[in-house]
Chains A and B, each alone.
Chain A
Amino acid sequence: MNDMNPQNSGRTPGGFSADIAGDLSSGRAIDLAEVYALHALDDAERTAVERHIADAPPAERAEFEERVRQAHETLAMSFGAEEEPPAGLFDRIVAALPAQQAGPGTDAPSAPPVVPRPVHEHAADLPVADELSAARQRRDERRRPQGMRNWLIGVAAAAAIAVGGVGVGAYVANQNDPLNQVLQASDVRKATIDVIGGGTASLTLSSSKDAVVVKMNGVPAPPAGKVYQMWLIPKDGSAPVSKGLMDAEALSKPAVVTGIGAAAALGITVEPTGGSKTPTMPTVAAAPLGA
């Protein structure tokens, strides 16, 4: 039944089960390393394997990871199709880069978002005269978690990516609730923005649904006595409109913010419990909604 390969006799021969759960429960997790590395599992199976391996004894985990690594090397060597990408693609990529390098561990402050403070010192920095001063400025602003200006540039650029048919397959659940209507809209755009204080917010925008789904990932709970508050900043320059609060409990759930058609940007601020009528600047996260 199985076309087993006798030259690999170091492994216990034997059959796989019909499903992944059966393989895992019969101790064949390691033998799934190649199928896993090939991305030939569906999302649920992939998660099940990852969970199993995360809980496995260190030796088993190490062997699985080693086999996955070798399979990735093998695939990269063996499937080498090449094709020239369209001219201009690199320029588009560079145009979409966050201006500030946001590598984890380099500038992600581990402290939770704290008392907002003014950032007027940045006004004098502009415009950037040359590469050196740009680099110096980036370095300076990395040290300032609330270095608003440069950070917002990154936000604007990040939101410009991923226009069009972005996969939302993992979210498919109930097609009728407002959340899924947005996630499954044909015109979704996605962006991920950094949240000052740690973590990110993923945005899924749909102009046709006039809404954006905001999902916080790894964002620390607000400090005691504070909540996150979401705002839409209207295009016409009128005052920001509150679109709801997120406390520690709500933080893990996606939120649907409607009415983005008239909004120029989405902002998130830290406010006293109960929320504020106007945002306390600076924002801890913001994104343009160039619809």
Chain B
Amino acid sequence: MSTMQVDRRPAPWAAGNHGGVDARPGPRSAAGTLCLKVMETPNAPNPEAAAPPAAPADVNRRLGALLGQIANGDQAAFAEFYQLTSRRVFGMARRVLIDAELSEDTTQEVFLQVWQNAAKFNADAGSPLAWLMTISHRRAVDKVRSSQSATDREARYGASSQEIDHDSVSDEVGSRLEAEAVVRCLDTLTDTQQESVRLAYYGGLTYREVAERLNAAVPTIKSRIRDGLIRLKTCLGVS
């Protein structure tokens, strides 16, 4: 397994300086102090070792413990966290952004944020998975809004919404039991509630853009989103 990829690194720093630094540079050698250490990655995730299926509560407990270790700079914990969650982060980014490269950038930024902000995670404020997916969704939405017009997003969403409908409620959800609950609970929403929430979530649209796309009044869309999410929450037993 390759331990690093150099293509995105600032190349002038990668060579020569490795491991060496002038401890007390004069002005003429100041540049030499900016060295770049090649980081070892002894604990990169093993793609063969797929995570065993686990109940959401177990996954969250494990993720919470890992975040505590990541906060202390534990790279092995970071690798496991990535292994457990990267499919979710990348999968969501792909639905929102479609573009593979933007999705990859977003995923990278999200996990860098995890590494840097693990200490900020507060279990009282939510589950690790919700924390992660909130960060991820925000990043993806920011990125899609800055890189694509609303018209593009709406058109694109229209082209892919069938697929989204299918896979967001099928066996791609973490566990079979949870998937069934999600399918059942999504069915308790009206079609218009489902559509509004999905357009906002996977389409990256604002409520105003959702209203324009659906030819509905703006206050109506806000109500649909609120009522749809509250109904879903109640059905899923989120407390």
Query: Which residues of A does B touch, CB under 8 Å?
Result: 1-5, 7-8, 15-19, 23, 31-35, 37-42, 45, 65, 69-106, 118-123, 126-128, 131, 135, 138, 148-149, 152-153, 155-157, 159-169, 231, 233-235, 237-240, 264-265, 267, 278-279, 281, 286, 288-291
Contact = CB atoms under 8 A, between A and B. Distances in A.
Interface of B: 1-6, 8-13, 19-25, 27-31, 33-37, 39, 41-42, 44-45, 47, 56, 71-73, 75, 78-79, 82, 86-92, 94-95, 100-102, 104-105, 107-109, 111-112, 115-120, 125-127, 129-134, 137-138, 141-143, 145-147, 164, 167-168, 172-174, 178-179, 182, 185-186, 190, 192-193, 197, 200-202, 204-208, 210, 217-220, 222-234, 236, 238-239
B30 A281 contact: yes
A167 B134 contact: no
A228 B39 CA distance: 31
Given A5-B227, A93-B82, 18 more contacts: A3-B192, A8-B231, A16-B219, A18-B218, A72-B126, A73-B127, A75-B130, A76-B129, A76-B130, A76-B132, A95-B8, A97-B39, A97-B78, A149-B23, A161-B8, A167-B146, A264-B13, A286-B33
A35 B31 contact: no
A86 B225 CA distance: 33
B137 A153 contact: no
Contacts of B205: 40
Question: What are the 8 tightest A-B residue pairs by CB atom distance, in nearest-first order?
Answer: A290-B10, A167-B146, A80-B173, A103-B119, A101-B73, A16-B219, A85-B90, A169-B146
B127 A76 contact: yes
Contacts of B208: 42
Contact of A156 (B34, B87, B126, B147): B34
A156 B13 contact: yes
B142 A69 contact: no
A32 B222 contact: yes
Nearest to A120: B23
Contact of B45 (A86, A90, A240): A90
A288 B12 contact: yes
Contact of B30 (A84, A87, A102, A279): A279
B222 A239 contact: no
Contacts of B12: 235, 264, 288, 290
B137 A75 contact: yes
Contacts of B145: 167, 169
7 contacts: A73-B130, A82-B87, A91-B5, A98-B116, A104-B120, A156-B36, A278-B27
B229 A93 contact: no
B180 to A, nearest CB: 12
Nearest to A123: B23
Nearest to B92: A81
